[in-house]
Amino acid sequence: MQYLRYLRFFPLYAVLLVVYNILMVSTDYTQTNPAVFKVPLPSGGEGFDLHLGDLLVMIGAVFYYIEMLKATSNSKLTLIDHLLSMVVFVIFLVEFLVVPGAGTPMFMILTLMSMLDIVAGFTVSISTARRDIAFGGGLEH
């Protein structure tokens, strides 16, 4: 069970990448973007259809929050998480540019979220490291 602790360094956007690719290959998802279910509104209004692409973007937003929490860790293995996230972003970007089925606005949003995960993750890690150094330097004097 020791290997399970390393699972927290797995980039969550890789899950979205795999799910999108499975949908792209197995169905005509990129053309249809089917509604998953209808969301009723408490106002008594008509409600709205929640499409599969919308759901994937919503899951991506939740993953972004979790990734930011992971970035605040001061573990030495956080760098591995950032590097794996960079690999996932590169795959997102290459697929967006090269694969016709990935040239959708929803995939572009997921690619952008993956890039922001990297930028924000490095930013948080650097600012956390600066704070740790400043705090540690104050104790040594």
Summarize pLDDT for 58-104 with one digit per residue, the tens: 999 999 999 888 887 767 777 888 899 999 999 999 999 999 888 88
Residues 102-113 have a mean pLDDT of: 92
Contact 26, 44 (CB under 8 A): no
3-state helix, strand, coil in the chain (%, to 5): 75, 5, 20
pLDDT of residue 125: 77
Residue 18 covered by a domain: yes
Residue 81 covered by a domain: yes
Domain that holds residue 97: 9-140
Residue 3 covered by a domain: no
115: left (phi over 0), alpha (psi -120 to 50) or beta: alpha
Residues 6+ apart with CB under 8 A from 102: 20, 24, 30, 95, 96
d(CA 58, CA 1): 31
What is the number of structural domains in the chain?
1
pLDDT of residue 36: 83
Residue 23 covered by a domain: yes
pLDDT of residue 141: 46
d(CA 35, CA 104): 17
- pTM of this prediction? 0.79
Total residues belonging to the chain: 141
